[in-house]
Amino acid sequence: MVAETLNHIDTLTELPNRVYGCQLVEELILTDKVTSAHVIVLEISRFGQISDSVGNSLADKILTMTAKRLSKIFSDAMCIYRSHGDNFCLVFDGDLELQQYIEKLQDFIQRPFAVRGKIIVLSVRIGLVTAKLAEQSYTNAMHCAEAALHYAKMNGLKVCLFETHMLDTAKKEHQVANDLRRSLISNSHELFNAIASDEFYIAYQPIISRNQQNVAGLEALLRWNHSELGTVMPSNFIHVAEDIGVMDVLGAWVLRKACADTVQWQQTLNLPNLSISINVSPKQLINADILLNSLEQAIESSSIAPHLIRIEITESVEFADSVPASLQKIRSLGCKVALDDFGTGYSSIVKLTTLPISDLKVDRSFILDLDSADQEKSDKARIIARGIYGVANGLGLNVITEGVETASQLAIVTELGADLIQGYYFSKPLLEKEITDFLQHSKVAI
Ligand code: C2E
Ligand code: MG
Ligand code: MG
């Protein structure tokens, strides 16, 4: 009996594991006649990347400390268990007030961890449901909470209360992940087949120079053409490609194709200075030899001038210690490096001086409120935007403003001194076949 119970305890955190946790809750439901329960699932955001950045043993320590903290703060829980990896589940009596738990969890989220001399601030997402256990099984309730967590992840929410439509979204996402796994996991041969048969393609979004009155460059944005779901956006599959270890191969293809396409447009449309921005994920930067190799090959096979390539990086978790050196190597090849989505995630002003970057992409979230009807909001947004442009210019960084959607946003950022602009106002990402037309006729629109 003891051995059986031990098998059901997660050895790292000493919490019950998923199977045992569910069993415990079900037993409690039977014996205590609990009729409803709040089921809360909690996930540490981008834990895989944190683990890559701080190392496995520190990552394990973070999980252990999280488990300890949860047990201490929520001593009144019916059950707390580790459902898998960086996922924990907390179950409370449904007769108690849910809001107090949400507030406590939010407080929990904000407290930094001190782990072996490092201060780590976690970001967690929470999905929750209040289940009537006479009407649905506990397992079913847990799936609903997981669907809410999934919805939170996909929509950038910290906390999300379950609604029925979220089950459909989760099912669809699950299918995407499975299909991607199926089509890519076995070996790179299958991946190349998928690429060759146009399962993947690149959309290109123009970046406009207000000063030059022309299209300064394009950003390559990867798409996956799914046989049933149609176009799948990168936010729904890049993390899966990273998880199953095919991002290097996929990323190499994007580099090669984007450089080759750009050179073709440079030549056929007589646009010798047209630049190309290419996104790379933080995973590709950790062991950057493959990335550097692919980049060199893309430059060599296309004969593109390296200074016309801009590698875009996003700091969604603290970069690994090796990243600055990798970026320096990219710069040494003559390419530009841009910090993407500046102002979101972990990117901070300090990074502008510590990372060897040449360019800065100001995130859409700063642009959104510039033309808000709420005067106070738009005034504040303007002050912040002016500050960012000032700092970037002072540091000699090239600034690209992302997500400009309206004429009034364009007027404001232009007045604040923005030159390079990208956003739906000028154009959404375009198919390869639409680019020629845009590049030829863009003068009219700019
Ligand atoms: P990103 O690099 O910040 O790219 C800009 C995203 O904002 C694109 O979304 C683009 O379609 C969208 N966007 C552009 N202008 C506007 C606008 O005016 N309004 C709004 N609402 N959105 C706008 P998309 O194509 O879904 O790409 C999402 C992210 O996926 C990219 O963000 C990038 O981080 C990543 N990604 C795309 N392609 C690749 C790739 O080949 N490799 C890697 N590692 N990541 C990629
Ligand atoms: Mg980008
Ligand atoms: Mg961006």
pLDDT tens by residue, 355-369: 999 999 999 988 989
Residues 184, 192: contact at Cβ < 8 Å? no
Name the pLDDT band for 55 (thresholds 50, 70, 90).
confident
Q: Is the pLDDT of residue 444 over 50?
A: no
Question: Helices marked H in 333-406 — which ranges?
Answer: 351-354, 364-368, 375-394
pLDDT tens column, 271-293: 999 999 999 988 888 879 999 99
Q: How far is the CA of 174 from the centre of ligand 2 (A)?
A: 25
Answer yes or no: is the C-beta of 233 below 6 A from any ligand 1 atom.
yes
Mean pLDDT of the chain: 88
- Structural domain count of the chain: 2
Last residue of some domain: 163, 196, 227?
A: 163
Residue 82 has pLDDT above 80, yes or no: yes
- Residue range 311-326: average pLDDT? 84
Residue 146 lies in a domain: yes
Convert the pLDDT of each residue in 366-385 to its tens digit. Answer: 898 999 899 999 999 999 99
Task: Please check whether residues 218 and 303 belong to one and the same domain.
Answer: yes
Residue 116 — very low, low, confident or very high, per pLDDT cuts 50/70/90?
confident
pLDDT at 440: 87
Whether residue 432 sits in one domain with residue 349? yes
Residue labelled with tokens 């252990």: 64
Q: Is 221 in the pocket of ligand 1 (CB under 6 A)?
A: yes
- Given 133, 163, 193, which residue is the final one in a domain? 163
Q: Does one domain contain both 231 and 103? A: no
Q: Of the candidates 183, 171, 255, 257, which has an alpha carbon nearest to the alpha carbon of residue 225?
A: 183
**Highest mean pLDDT: which of 68-82, 167-181, 192-206, 315-329?**
68-82
Residue-number span of the structural domain to which 35 is assigned? 2-163
Look at ligand 1, atom 12, and give the residue with the nearest C-alpha: 403
Q: What is the CATH number of the domain that holds 351?
A: 3.20.20.450
Do residues 405 and 423 touch, judged by C-beta distance below 8 A? yes
Q: Read off the pLDDT of each residue in 185-202 and give the average, rounded to a whole number.
A: 69
Most confident option among 136-150, 167-181, 225-239, 255-269: 255-269
Cα–Cα dist 316/320, whole Å: 11
- pLDDT bucket at 191, cuts 50 / 70 / 90: low
Q: Greater confidence, 219 or 110?
A: 219
Residue 234 beta carbon below 6 angstroms from any ligand 1 atom? yes
The CA 126 to ligand 1 mean position distance, Å, reads 25
Residue 34 has pLDDT above 90, yes or no: no
- Tell me the ligand closest to 362's alpha carbon: 3
446: pLDDT confidence band, cut at 50, 70 and 90?
A: low
Rounded distance between C-alpha atoms, residue 6 and residue 16, angstroms = 9
201 lies in the same domain as 104: no
pLDDT of residue 176: 75
- Ligand 2 centroid–CA 312 distance in Å is 5
- d(Cα 318, Cα 315) in Å, to the nearest integer? 6
Rounded CA gap, 14 and 6, in Å?
9
The reply to whether 20 and 98 lie within a common domain is: yes
Domain match, 84 and 198 both: no
Give 387-429 pLDDT, tens digit per residue: 999 999 999 999 999 999 999 999 999 999 999 999 999 999 9
Clarify whether residues 198 and 107 are in a common domain.
no
Phi and psi at residue 338, to the nearest 5°: -110, 140
Atom of ligand 1 nearest to the CA of 247: 44
Buried-state track 147-169, b at ≥16 Cβ within 10 A, e below 16:
bbbbbbbeeeeebbbbeeebbee
Report whether 147 contacts 167 (CB < 8 A).
Answer: yes
Residue 389 lies in a domain: yes
pLDDT-wise least confident of 153-157, 209-213, 302-306: 153-157
Please give the average per-residue pLDDT across 343-355, as a whole number. Answer: 79
Structural contact between residues 434 and 396, judged by C-beta atoms closer than 8 angstroms: no
206 lines ligand 1 (CB under 6 A): no
Asked if residue 188 and residue 149 are part of one domain, the reply reads no
Same domain as 136, residue 215:
no
Assess whether 147 and 20 both reside in one domain.
yes
Q: What is the predicted pLDDT for the residue at 225?
A: 86
Residue 294 confidence (pLDDT)? 96
Where is pLDDT greater, at 305 or 287? 305
- Give domain status of residue 79, yes or no: yes
Tokens of 22: 């569910």
Q: What pLDDT is stored for residue 190 in this prediction?
A: 60
> What is the percent of the chain where pLDDT is above 90?
54
Ligand 1: residue whose CA is nearest its atom 8: 221
Residues 156 and 198 in one domain: no
CATH number at residue 21: 3.30.70.270
Q: Which two tokens stand for residue 3?
A: 């051995």
Task: Judge contact between 94 and 35, C-beta under 8 A.
Answer: yes
Is 178 inside a domain boundary?
Answer: no
Atom number, ligand 1, closest to the C-alpha of residue 429: 11
Half-sphere exposure of 58 (CA within 13 A, CB side): 17
Per-residue pLDDT of 166-190, as tens digits, reads 988 777 777 777 777 776 655 556 6
Judge whether 317 and 345 are in contact, CB under 8 Å: yes
Highest mean pLDDT among 73-77, 158-162, 202-206, 212-216: 202-206
176: in domain:
no
The C-alpha atoms of residue 117 and residue 115 are separated, in whole angstroms, by 6
Phi, psi of 433 (to 5 degrees): -70, -15
Last residue of a domain, one of 113, 133, 163: 163
Same structural domain for residues 234 and 339?
yes
Q: Is the pLDDT of residue 201 over 90?
A: yes
Nearest CA residue ID for atom 30, ligand 1: 234
